[in-house]
Chains A and B, each alone.
Chain A
Amino acid sequence: MFSKLSRKLNLFALTWRLPIIIWQFVFFVGPVLFMVAMSFFLVKNYRMTEAFEFVNWSKMMNRGYFWDSYWYTVFIAAVSTVCAMCIAFPAAFALAFRASDSTRRWAIFLLIIPFFTSYLVRTFSWFVILSESGVVNAMLGSIGLGPFTMLNTNFGTLVGYMTLTLPLVVILQTVTMANIDKTLVEAARNLGCSAFRTIWQVIIPLSKTGLIIAAIFCFILSFGDFVAPFYLGGSQEPTLPILILDTTKSGQQWPRAAVVAIMMMLTLFAIAFIGIALAYRKPKGAK
Chain B
Amino acid sequence: MTKANPKPNMSAFSRRQLLRVGGAAVLTTPFVSRAWAATTEINMLAWYGHGEPDVVAEYEAANNVKFVPKYYAGGDNMLALIAQSPPGTYDIILSDAEFVQQLNLAGYIDPLDAADYPLDDMLHEDFTQFPGHWSDGKLYSMMLRGGHLGVSYNKNAVSEEEAQSYACFWKPELEGKVGHFDWHLPNLGMMSLYNGNGASLWDIDDAKWSAVQETTLGLRKQVGGFFDYGGTFNGLKNGEMQAMCGIGDWITGVLEKDGAPVASVIPKEGGIQFTESYSIGKGSEKVAEVTKFIKYMLSPEGQVKSAQMAAYPGFCVTKAGRAALIEADPTEAARSHQMNGDPQDPITLIKEGRIHYRDIPQQQGLEDWNDFWSEYKNA
Contacts and interface: CB of A to CB of B under 8 A. Distances in A.
A259 to B, nearest CB: 14
Interface of A: 45-47, 63-65, 68-69, 72, 127, 131-134, 149, 151-152, 230-231, 233-238, 243, 246, 249-252
Interface of B: 73-74, 76-77, 79-80, 83-84, 106, 176, 179, 182, 184, 223-228, 231, 234-235, 238-240, 366-367, 370-371, 373-375, 377-378
17 contacts: A47-B83, A64-B378, A65-B378, A149-B176, A149-B224, A149-B240, A152-B240, A230-B228, A231-B231, A234-B224, A246-B370, A246-B373, A249-B73, A249-B76, A250-B370, A252-B76, A252-B80
A65 B370 CA distance: 12
Contact of A243 (B226, B367, B374): B374
Contact of B370 (A231, A234, A251): A251
B184 A131 contact: no
Contacts of A45: 79, 83, 106
B377 A127 contact: no
Contact of A152 (B76, B106, B225): B225
A63 to B, nearest CB: 7
A46 B76 contact: yes
B238 A127 contact: yes
Contacts of B227: 234-235
A46 B176 contact: no
A132 B239 contact: yes
Contact of B225 (A132, A235, A243): A235
A64 B367 CA distance: 15
Contacts of A149: 176, 224, 240
A23 B272 CA distance: 51
Nearest to A152: B225
9 smallest A-B Cβ distances: which pairs?
A: A234-B225, A152-B225, A235-B226, A250-B370, A68-B378, A252-B80, A46-B79, A47-B83, A131-B238
Given A132-B239, A252-B76, A237 B378 contact: yes
Nearest to A231: B231
Nearest to A246: B374
Contacts of B106: 45
Contact of A64 (B73, B238, B375): B375
A168 to B, nearest CB: 27
B238 A251 contact: no
B238 A132 contact: yes
A65 B374 CA distance: 6
A65 B377 contact: yes
Given A46-B83, A132-B240, A251-B366, A235 B76 contact: no
Given A132-B240, A151-B240, A251 B367 contact: yes
B232 to A, nearest CB: 11
Given A152-B240, A234-B227, A236-B226, A63 B371 contact: yes
B378 A250 contact: no
Given A46-B83, A69-B378, A234-B226, 12 more contacts: A64-B375, A127-B238, A230-B228, A230-B231, A234-B179, A234-B225, A236-B226, A236-B377, A249-B77, A250-B184, A252-B77, A252-B79
B85 to A, nearest CB: 11
A266 B235 CA distance: 35
A250 B231 contact: no
A65 B224 contact: no
B186 to A, nearest CB: 13
A99 to B, nearest CB: 39
Contacts of A65: 371, 374-375, 377-378
B83 A237 contact: no
A167 B84 CA distance: 41
Contacts of B238: 127, 131-134
Contacts of B228: 230
A249 B74 contact: yes
B366 A250 contact: yes
Given A249-B74, A249-B76, A251-B76, A237 B84 contact: no
A158 to B, nearest CB: 16
A246 B374 CA distance: 8
Nearest to B84: A47
A46 B74 CA distance: 13
Contacts of A233: 225
A127 B373 CA distance: 26
A233 B225 CA distance: 8
A270 B184 CA distance: 35
B86 to A, nearest CB: 13
A131 B239 contact: yes
A243 B32 CA distance: 53
A238 B239 contact: no
Contacts of B370: 246, 250-251
A46 to B, nearest CB: 4
